[in-house]
Structure 1
């Protein structure tokens, strides 16, 4: 495993147990972001980098009992926390890596990724792998329950133009990976970019 993935695992592994208590008010924001995907009942959706699985219950609500909800994460401790919170009842949890998804080509209707883009070891290749498993016309939502400026302020830094989530960076990055960005919102209470898988 690459060094940077080990670092990601260690970072989130150490924080998994108290992750939800540190961010207790995100539920409505996650539900609203999922709603924007407009998933039909019966759809198949992947939460990529699902962490403790906070998006899984709203994803299950969206696709209904006949839909397929998968949560994939690199960090065993995050998935263990998701199970303790009962979120494995909303979707199947997979230990895995966005660099090589254990899924067949064009089998999903959508991918949801919360806080994902900042942690991808090879953003274009990883976004292309996400595109591989989504059918043409399917969707990708890149979400964060806090906007770029508010997050930077919380971390005591400035937004920089080379941030991957800046619209002028993100749009061509997605396009190069087979996605067409259709909406982009970056406000204090949320960041949400939605893209469609090109035909």
Structure 2
């Protein structure tokens, strides 16, 4: 697992400085997806695999000044970019593995995770850990600012049902991890899954 983590860190470390400039138009899509998570003022929410913290401002807007916003990422360079961009003003940044979070069980009302699932070394363990830190009835949003087909085309791959984000694979994976899938959207302009913490 350490090797997998090292690969993830190396992949993102070299991209951290110009990450936001590579995807300058994603802000509204992030804000829309955050809005669909169903957060309320005063809620506690985690941006899992927060990267440069692009969702933190939208998350803070949803939970208000009385809420708690955390951003956790495995890559120090991404968190440094988030700090330079001033995004720590919207939420506390944690250098942490989302598969082993330093948080109490059932401490959160929701989790937002943009582009995370394909970078988890063990997707079931990762989603189970996210379930552990969310109260029953809390919510999870798995998001990407483009859909599966557009992402596959960007990477020069064919769209495949073996993709972890394909609904036939993701639904049972979520169920085995403590989540019930409520909404599955896979359009050219976005990928969004909303799930509710069971139990």
5 Å-filtered alignment, 1:18-167, equals 18-167=18-167
Q: CA deviation at 1:194?
A: 0.5
Q: CA deviation at 1:157?
A: 1.1
**TM-score (normalised: structure 1):** 0.99
Matches of 1:128 and 1:154, distance apart in 2: 30
**TM-score (normalised: structure 2):** 0.99
Deviations 1:101-141 (A, max 9, x none): 00000010000000000000000011001000000000000
Deviations 1:18-55 (A, max 9, x none): 00000000000000000001100000000000000000
Q: What do you get for the CA RMSD once the two structures are aligned?
A: 0.6
Matches of 2:24 and 2:111, distance apart in 1: 23
Query: What is residue 173 of structure 1 aligned with on the other side?
Result: 173
Matches of 2:99 and 2:91, distance apart in 1: 21
Query: What is residue 13 of structure 1 aligned with on the other side?
Result: 13
Q: CA deviation at 1:60?
A: 0.2
The 4+ residue runs of structure 1 with deviation greater than 6 A are none
More displaced stretch, 11-20 vs 1-10:
1-10
The total of aligned residue pairs comes to 199
Matches of 1:185 and 1:174, distance apart in 2: 15
Deviations 1:53-92 (A, max 9, x none): 0000000000000000000000000000000000000000
Q: CA deviation at 1:144?
A: 0.2
Structure 1, gaps ≥5 residues long: none
Structure 2, gaps ≥5 residues long: none
